[in-house]
């Protein structure tokens, strides 16, 4: 009984880009063996057109032909001497280009419910010169800390002493709010302090105008009612006669 030689894919070379299949990879490997440079160039260009026909829906994409040549060189393991008609000849270094790493902040806030911006504001206040400008800036920071604390936990009452102690802790004792100074909550200022004063003259004028119009309307309505009543009365008198 003859033995049958079975060729399994597991015993073959791994596919570098499986989307193109083993036949394309074998053809590219054959192109590497062509010694004539012109013949090798023509064969490589035909291969890229074949690769394009495998995905015809993508041929209208921008830089798609350049992408095909990059795949061609990648499957050839960059061991073939051909010149792509578009762009430069890709190298193995281009394959391992990674985007720049996104910088993330590794700092840990002492009190996370205040946020990292509060810590940055405190550092800026520490660097300022002592004076009324710095004192006003520290007061604004304390007011914002109180607002942030109440936003973080609405059910818990927060006193000025807690905010002052946290501010001193975050600034390492460099910023302090006097004990006799009350911290104004920014939320109350935003709801009451920024309201525009209402114009009493305009409001009064609108009310007077409304009353005048209502009086006029009432007069007209009464006259109309009287005229209707008169017409009704006249018609009744005429009938009685």
What tens digit of pLDDT does each residue of 40-84 get?
999 999 999 999 988 888 877 878 888 899 999 999 999 999 998
Average pLDDT of span 170-189: 76
Mean pLDDT, the chain, as a whole number?
Answer: 76
Report the sign of the C-alpha dihedral through residues 135, 137, 138, 140, in that order.
Answer: positive
Query: 58 and 120 share a domain?
Result: no
Query: 131 and 184 share a domain?
Result: yes
Query: 133 and 188 share a domain?
Result: yes
Judge contact between 66 and 84, C-beta under 8 A: yes
* Cα 187 from chain centroid (whole Å): 26
What is the spatial distance between Cα 204 and Cα 208, in angstroms, rounded to a whole number? 6
User: Which of 29, 64, 95 is the last residue before a domain boundary?
Assistant: 95
At 153, list the tokens.
Answer: 């936990």
Query: 89 and 124 share a domain?
Result: no
Query: 81 and 139 share a domain?
Result: no
pLDDT of residue 88: 79
What is the spatial distance between Cα 98 and Cα 101, in angstroms, rounded to a whole number? 8
Mean pLDDT lowest among 77-86, 96-105, 145-154, 206-215: 206-215
Whether residue 218 lies inside any domain: the answer is no
What tens digit of pLDDT does each residue of 103-134 get?
776 666 678 888 888 988 999 999 999 999 99
Domain of residue 137 covers 116-192
What is the spatial distance between Cα 174 and Cα 118, in angstroms, rounded to a whole number? 15
Report the sign of the C-alpha dihedral through residues 100, 16, 40, 79, in that order.
Answer: positive
Whether residue 169 lies inside any domain: the answer is yes
Whether residue 178 lies inside any domain: the answer is yes
CA distances, 59 to each of 17, 19, 34, 64, 86 (Å): 18, 16, 28, 6, 15
pLDDT of residue 109: 66
Query: 72 and 13 share a domain?
Result: yes
């Amino acid at each position: 009984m003859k033995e049958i030689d079975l060729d399994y894919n597991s015993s073959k070379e791994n596919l570098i880009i499986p989307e193109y299949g083993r036949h394309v990879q074998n053809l590219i490997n054959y192109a590497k063996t062509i010694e004539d440079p012109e013949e090798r160039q023509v064969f490589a260009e035909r291969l890229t057109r074949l690769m394009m026909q495998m995905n015809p829906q993508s041929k209208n994409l921008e830089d798609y032909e350049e992408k095909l040549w990059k795949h061609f060189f990648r499957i050839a393991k960059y061991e073939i001497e051909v010149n792509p008609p578009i762009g430069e000849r890709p190298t193995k270094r281009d394959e391992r280009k990674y985007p720049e790493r996104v910088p993330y902040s590794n700092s840990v806030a002492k009190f996370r419910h205040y946020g990292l911006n509060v810590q940055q504001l405190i550092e800026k206040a520490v660097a300022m010169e002592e004076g009324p400008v710095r004192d006003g800036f520290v007061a604004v920071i304390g007011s914002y800390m109180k607002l942030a604390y109440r936003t973080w936990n609405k059910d818990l009452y927060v006193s000025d002493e807690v905010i002052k102690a946290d501010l001193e802790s975050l600034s390492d004792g460099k910023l302090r709010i006097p004990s006799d100074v009350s911290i104004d909550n920014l939320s109350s200022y935003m709801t009451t302090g920024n309201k525009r004063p209402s114009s009493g003259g305009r409001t009064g004028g609108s009310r007077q105008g409304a009353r005048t119009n209502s009086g006029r309307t009432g007069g007209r309505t009464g006259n109309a009612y009287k005229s209707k009543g008169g017409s009704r009365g006249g018609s009744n008198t005429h009938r009685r006669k």
